[in-house]
Structure 1
Amino acid sequence: MTALKIGRYEIIEEIGRGGMATVFRAFDPFFQRDVALKVIPREFLHDPTFRSRFQREAKTVALLEHPAIVPVYDVGEEDDQPYLVMRYLPGGSLADRLKQGEFSFEAASGIVNHLAPALDEAHKSGVIHRDLKPDNILFDQQDNPYVTDFGIAKLNEERTNLTTGGLIIGTPSYMSPEQANGETLDGRSDIYALGIIVFQMLTGRLPFEANTPLGIIMKHITQPIPPILEIRPDLPAGCGMVMDQVLAKAAADRFSLATDFAKALSEAPSFHNKNSTKPAGRPKTLKLKRLETKPIPVDTVPDEAIICPKCNTENDGDRRLCVACGNRLKIDCPL
C-alpha cells in the first residue's frame, strides 16, 4: 500500500468518514472504472472486532442479490490494512439531499418503493441491516436509491449482539424500540428505521431529538410519534394512519413487509375515497311526492269559538277560561 494506492486501486479522493470506516473514491485500472473503497481507520487496525465487521459485510452482501443493494466487488488486505471494494455511486447520499429540506410526498414515496423490495430480499435471506439511515442510502446518476453498509448487519444464525464496550451498535435517531432495549430483532426493526427516514423526508426533521443519545433512545421507547399531519397538513390524510402503523412501538403492530409499507404509503392519497365506489358528479335530484290535502270547512268551527291552546278543547267565544282544563283563553284589554 502506498499513499495513493491500496492494492491495485488508485485513490482519487475521500468521500466519506465515520467512526468505523473511511471510504475513498478509487480507480480500478483492471476494469477501468471508479469504485468505492472502504478501509478501517488506523486506530482500529489491531482491533479484531473491526476486522470481523469487514469480513461480515463481505459475507452478508455476498448472500444478497438485488438491484437496489450496493454490491461488493472485492475484499482484500494489504500491509495489515483490510479493505472492501464496492460499486461507486456518484449521486451522493440521502443525508446530503435532506440538507436541502423536506421532500414532496411523491418523491418520498418513490424512494420507499425502490428500497422496500431490497429490504424484503435481505430479510428473506435472514439478514437484518440494523443501521438503516440516510447516510446508508446512496444514489446513482439516474437518481435511483440503493442500500449500503451492511457492516453491522445481523445474520439470523449469528448469536453475537455486535456490541462495542457493552453498547448496542446502531444510530439512536433511527433505532427501533426493541433494538434500543437489546431485544431479539427481525425485519420489522429495519422497517421502523425506514419509517423514521420517511418521517424525516416528509417533515425535514426527526421525530425525536435530545441532548444525548440515551435521551433519544428513551424517547423511541416511551414517547408517541408526533402526528405528521400537524407538521405537514398538506400531506394526504391517509399518510397519518400509515405512519402511525410503521412507527408503532410494538413490532407486532407494524407492517410485516417493507413492500406492504411502501404500498400503503403510495395508496395513502386514496384512503379517504375507499368508501366511495362511484366518481363524484352532480347531486342526485330527489323526487318529492305531492300530498293531497282537504281544506277544513269554515262552518265546522263556530264564528266566535275559541280553541284552548293547552288542550285543544272548543269553547264558546265569550268564555275566559277553558271548560275542560281551566286554562285562561283570553286577556281583557284595559284600553
Structure 2
Amino acid sequence: MVKTLVEPGAVIDGFTVGERVHSGGMATLWSVTWPDSDTPMLMKVPRISEGEDPAAIVGFEMEQMILPRLSGPHVPACFGAGDFARQPYVVIERIPGKTLYERLSELPISYEEARAIVGKIATALADLHTQNVIHHDIKPSSIMFRPTGEAVLIDFGLSHHNQLPDLLQEEFRLPYGTAPYMAPERLLGVRDDPRSDLFSLGVLLYFFTTGERPFGETETLRGMRRRLWRDPHPPRRLRADYPPWLQEIVLRCLEIEPVWRYPTASHLAFDLGHPGQVKLTARAERLVRDPLSTVWRRRFNRGLTHPKPKADLAAQLASCPILTVAIDTTEGSEQLNEALRVTAERILATLPSARLACLNVLKLGRVTIDRTLDEEGNNKHIDRMVALKHWASPLKLDEDRLTVHVLEAIDPASAILEFAEANHVDHIVIGARQSSLVRTLLGSVSAKVAAEAPCSVTVVRPPRQAPLQELEGTSKEPGEAMF
C-alpha cells in the first residue's frame, strides 16, 4: 500500500483524525479523538511509501505486537492498532510535555538532578524488563515524564519481547539502533540481554553530567565496533569535581562485558537512590582509560564472540532480587535476630546475585521531642547502622551486595512498606515477637507488613524449644494472611 488513508477529518476504525503533530524519519504522529472519551490520544502511522527503509516497517510491526501487551505508568497506554492490509497504525496515550531531548541545550546539568532523572528512568526500565521487554533504544528522545513524575518510555520499534518473534533479528543482519547509545554486544547480534539497556542508560548519564558522549558522535559501524574493546575516558578526566560515587555508577553501566554491569535495572535504581552507600572500587578513582595491553587482549581474545544460548529474561531477573531484612537492634532481640540471619542466609545461598538491604526503624514518639543522642551521649542513628553491619558480617557478603538503612518514623510498619515500594524490593524478611495483649489489640508490625507488602514476605518467629538450626521461616505471597 502506498497511499495513506490518514488525513485531517478522516475517521479510521472509529478514531477521528485531527492535526499532524510530528513527522519523523520512520513515522508520523496525528492527534485523534474517540467518541465520548476525553483522553488525549495520538495515532502513529509508519512511512510506507516508495524508497522508505524496510526496517522501519518491520520495527512498526514489532511495536504493534509489543505495545498492547504493556501496562503501567512507565509506558503509554495503547487503545488500538490497524492492520497493514488496510491502514497500519497504533493509537496510544498522548503524554503531555516534551521528551528529554529538549534538555540537551542545557548540558551538563547538576549531578543531583541527573541522579534523580536517571533513577526514574532506571525504575521505568525495571518495570519494562519484568514485562519481558528490552527497549534497545534508550536515548533522550525516547523518554518523557508524566506530570506526576514517573518516567515514560516511548518508541518500541527496536524492542525485543522475550515471548514474541524478533522480526528485526530474523530479517536483518546489521544491528539497528542509535549509534552513540548502542551496547557492545548488540554489534554481535545479542538482543536478549536486558543489561544492554543499562549500558545505554549509562551513556545517557555520562552525557548529561559531562556534556560529552562517551564514544563521540560516530555513526559508522567501524567506529562503533571499537567499543567492543575500548573503554571511554573516565568522567573525572572531563570534570575534576565529578563525585566518585557517580563515576562508580557510570563506569559500571559502561562495562564492555555485560556480566560486569549492574545485574538488573532495579539494582541500578537502588544505587542512584542511595548514593552515600555506593560501594566504591577502582572505577571511582580512575583518571585514564585502560592500558593498551588490556585493549589488545580484549580485541583478540574476546568472550563475547562465543555463541551463547538464548537468555531466559524472567529467570535472569529472578536470580537478582533485592532482599530486605527488617532487624530489631534493641536489647532482648538476639534470638530473633539470629533466626533472621539463618533465614536470610538460606535465601542468599540460592541467589548468589541477590542484593541485601538491612533495615532498622528508629521509632519516633507522636507527641514527644525525640533526641538524637542516647543517655550515654552516643548517636542513636550511627549506633544502629553499626549494629546492622555487625548483624550482617557473618553472612560474608561482597560489599557491593550489602547496604544498611536506619529509618526514622512514627509507624515502623509504614516505613518498611514505603522503603520496599520506593526501592523495588522483591522479598522482605521480618521477625515476629511472641504474642502479647498490646499486639493482639493493636496489631503487630510484621502482620501489617505481611498483609500490605507489594512483594513476597517471610515472617520469622523466635525459637521456643527447638534449636536454632531447626527454625523454619514461613513464606507468603502478596494477598495471603500471615500471623
User: With structure 1 as the length reference, what TM-score do the two structures score?
Assistant: 0.72
Report the Cα offset of residue 225 of structure 1: 1.7
Aligned equivalent of 1:105, options 92, 108, 111: 111
- Which blocks of at least 5 consecutive residues in structure 2 are unaligned? 281-380, 384-483
Aligned equivalent of 1:65, options 56, 67, 71: 71
Aligned equivalent of 2:231, options 213, 224, 229: 224
| Worse-matched range after superposition: 187-196 or 76-85 | 76-85
Give CA-to-partner distance per residue, 1:125-171, whole Å, 9 cap, x none: 32111111111101334554211111221122445461565322111
- In 2, the alpha carbon distance for the partners of 1:80 and 1:177 equals 39
- In 2, the alpha carbon distance for the partners of 1:210 and 1:45 equals 26
Report the Cα offset of residue 247 of structure 1: 0.8
Matched, 1:126 2:132: yes
Relative to structure 1, the CA distance from residue 87 to residue 224 in structure 2 (aligned partners, 3 Å threshold; closer, same or farther) is: same
- Count of residues in Structure 1 that have an aligned counterpart in Structure 2: 275
Q: 8 Å contact 1:53–1:152 — kept in the other structure?
A: yes
Q: 8 Å contact 2:123–2:269 — kept in the other structure?
A: no
- For residue 3 of structure 1, give the secondary structure of its aligned residue in structure 2: coil
Root-mean-square deviation over aligned CA pairs: 3.0
Report the Cα offset of residue 190 of structure 1: 0.8
- In 2, the alpha carbon distance for the partners of 1:191 and 1:133 equals 11
Report the Cα offset of residue 244 of structure 1: 1.4
User: Which residue does 2:160 correspond to in 1?
Assistant: 154
- Pair member with larger Rg: 1
Q: Where in structure 2 are the equivalents of 1:141-290 lying within 5 Å?
A: 141-142=147-148, 144-158=150-164, 160=166, 162=168, 166-269=173-276, 271=278
- Structure 1 segments, 4+ long, off by >4 Å, are 44-52, 269-273
Give CA-to-partner distance per residue, 1:194-243, whole Å, 9 cap, x none: 11111111122211125443244123222212211222333322111111
User: Which residue does 2:425 correspond to in 1?
Assistant: none
Q: 8 Å contact 1:136–1:149 — kept in the other structure?
A: yes
Matched, 1:41 2:41: no
Matched, 1:117 2:123: yes
Q: Where in structure 2 are the equivalents of 1:71-82 lying within 5 Å?
A: 71-77=77-83, 80-82=86-88
- For residue 249 of structure 1, give the secondary structure of its aligned residue in structure 2: coil
Give CA-to-partner distance per residue, 1:157-190, whole Å, 9 cap, x none: 4454615653221111111000022135311011
Aligned equivalent of 1:135, options 133, 136, 141: 141
Q: 8 Å contact 1:58–1:72 — kept in the other structure?
A: no
Aligned equivalent of 1:92, options 98, 114, 122: 98
Instruction: Give the letter aligned to residue 21 of structure 2.
Output: E
Report the Cα offset of residue 41 of structure 1: 0.9
- In 2, the alpha carbon distance for the partners of 1:203 and 1:187 equals 25
- In 1, the alpha carbon distance for the partners of 2:17 and 2:166 equals 35
Instruction: Give the letter aligned to residue 39 of structure 1.
Output: V
Relative to structure 1, the CA distance from residue 196 to residue 2 in structure 2 (aligned partners, 3 Å threshold; closer, same or farther) is: closer
User: Which residue does 1:292 correspond to in 2?
Assistant: none
Relative to structure 1, the CA distance from residue 225 to residue 167 in structure 2 (aligned partners, 3 Å threshold; closer, same or farther) is: same
| Worse-matched range after superposition: 91-100 or 214-223 | 214-223
Relative to structure 1, the CA distance from residue 185 to residue 165 in structure 2 (aligned partners, 3 Å threshold; closer, same or farther) is: closer
Report the Cα offset of residue 78 of structure 1: 8.6
Give CA-to-partner distance per residue, 1:47-70, whole Å, 9 cap, x none: 886555334323323332221122
Matched, 1:4 2:8: yes
- In 1, the alpha carbon distance for the partners of 2:85 and 2:19 equals 20
Relative to structure 1, the CA distance from residue 23 to residue 205 in structure 2 (aligned partners, 3 Å threshold; closer, same or farther) is: farther
Report the Cα offset of residue 15 of structure 1: 2.5
Report the Cα offset of residue 249 of structure 1: 0.2
Q: 8 Å contact 2:180–2:217 — kept in the other structure?
A: no
- For residue 168 of structure 1, give the secondary structure of its aligned residue in structure 2: coil
- In 2, the alpha carbon distance for the partners of 1:77 and 1:32 equals 25
Report the Cα offset of residue 278 of structure 1: 5.8
Instruction: Give the letter aligned to residue 148 of structure 1.
Output: I
Report the Cα offset of residue 79 of structure 1: 8.3
Give CA-to-partner distance per residue, 1:233-291, whole Å, 9 cap, x none: 33322111111111100000000111211222333355589xxx969xxxxxxxxxxxx
Q: 8 Å contact 1:172–1:216 — kept in the other structure?
A: no
| Structure showing greater relative contact order (alpha-carbon pairs closer than 8 Å, 6 or more residues apart) | 1
- For residue 99 of structure 1, give the secondary structure of its aligned residue in structure 2: helix
User: With structure 2 as the length reference, what TM-score do the two structures score?
Assistant: 0.51
- Normalized per residue, which structure has more helix? 2
Instruction: Give the letter aligned to residue 4 of structure 1.
Output: P
Aligned equivalent of 1:54, options 55, 60, 64: 60
- For residue 274 of structure 2, give the secondary structure of its aligned residue in structure 1: helix
Q: 8 Å contact 1:45–1:80 — kept in the other structure?
A: no
Q: Where in structure 2 are the equivalents of 1:312-331 lying within 5 Å?
A: none
- Which blocks of at least 5 consecutive residues in structure 1 are unaligned? 280-335
Relative to structure 1, the CA distance from residue 147 to residue 171 in structure 2 (aligned partners, 3 Å threshold; closer, same or farther) is: same
- For residue 79 of structure 2, give the secondary structure of its aligned residue in structure 1: strand
- In 2, the alpha carbon distance for the partners of 1:2 and 1:70 equals 21
